Amino acid sequence: MAALNLRAPQGLSLKQSINDRAPRSNARVVRVARQAPRLMAVKIAAKQVTPKVDVTVRPAANFADLRAAAGVRVSCFNLYPEDRSEYSKQNHRKLKLDQESNVLERKMTGAEPGYDKTKVLCYLALTPQPEDAELTTELMEEVDPSCKIPQDGDTPVQLCLGSLDLNICDRFPSESLQPAVFNAGEEGRAFIANVCVAPGARRQKIADKMMDVVKEYCYTNNIRDLYVHVVPSNKAAVALYKKAGFVMEREETADFAYCRDRERRMLLLFQCITEENKEEEKKESLGPERSAYI
């Protein structure tokens, strides 16, 4: 049998050249291992891309709408430990769903204590149920099935992906942090509450769309001051309201919140009616020819 001709690379002995291969191989393994988490994260991120949907925002018209809004809120506002069984979660969600929908109905009819002088509008962000079953499953992730609104005539089955309440009153019931001064006159005030978006439909500006509809309602109905309460630790909500044009009006002190065993709150304000947009509306009503003389 012919002898193997092992030749070392120039400048290295045979022993050095053979032993030198192992570190290079190990280095490649280490490099691949270091890249694995990043590659895995890219794959996971690709799977978690939020499906794009178009939503329509409108006020609730019946109890089925209220129950759909309550379903979104129960899913967003109730978190469970990892060891909680699915059966236990479903039972608790059903209990909270019944409570939330009934309280919401009482608020809107003025039967809830403190809401007899408050007009409550519950807004829903709706989208037709997609034909793609996988897309429907993604949108309804961790959301109660009651968020589906049944077909009504020509209107197909709809998914409720977001909700908020608009409370039109001088003082928001059950809130200790109230506006400093009420501006008397024709313009009133309103308070936003219970803003939420289904987990599977976030990062699609659904909350922004609901805000725009509410601000338009306030402007049309001569409501100047629009308020919202928020805690500083809820950075996503704070960023949402600041982006929408809300500014700080008041905030609780740390001592005040500590005595009530809760996080301190801020009261943010958006002025829906200003002298500027009143002037713009006047010019539009007069038309381009007459507005040139103002």
Residue 18 pLDDT more than 60?
no
Q: Which of 5-14, 108-117, 190-199 has the lowest mean pLDDT?
A: 5-14
Task: Please list, in sequence order, all residues whose beta carbon lies within 8 angstroms of the beta carbon of residue 153, skipping any fewer than 6 positions away.
Answer: none
CA distance 182 to 213: 24
How many Å apart are CA 156 and CA 150, to the nearest integer?
A: 7
| DSSP label of 201 | G
Enter the tokens of residue 22.
Answer: 């192992």
Residue 210 pLDDT: 97
275 token code pair: 């002298």
Taking residues 288-294, what's their average pLDDT?
Answer: 55
Q: What is the per-residue pLDDT across 160-172, written as a single tens digit (0 to 9) for each?
A: 999 999 999 989 9
Distance of CA 217 to the CA centre of its chain: 20
Q: Where are the beta strands (DSSP E) in the chain?
A: 56-59, 119-128, 148-149, 158-168, 188-197, 223-230, 247-251, 266-271
**Rounded Cα gap, residues 142 and 200, in angstroms:** 8
Cβ-Cβ contacts under 8 Å for 284 (sequence gap 6 or more): 291
Q: Per-residue pLDDT tens for 66-117?
A: 999 999 999 888 888 888 888 888 888 889 999 999 999 999 999 999 999 9
The predicted structure's pLDDT at residue 14: 45
Domains of the chain in start order, with CATH, are 53-291 (3.40.630.30)
Residue 250 has what pLDDT? 93
For the chain, give the percent of residues with pLDDT over 70: 74
143-152, 181-190, 236-245, 283-292: segment of lowest average pLDDT: 283-292
Long-range contacts of 272-275 (CB under 8 A, 24+ apart): 272/215, 272/218, 272/219, 272/223, 272/224, 272/225, 272/226, 273/187, 273/218, 273/219, 273/222, 273/223, 273/224
**Is pLDDT of 121 > 50?**
yes
**Predicted local confidence at residue 231, as pLDDT:** 94
Tokens of 182: 């009420």
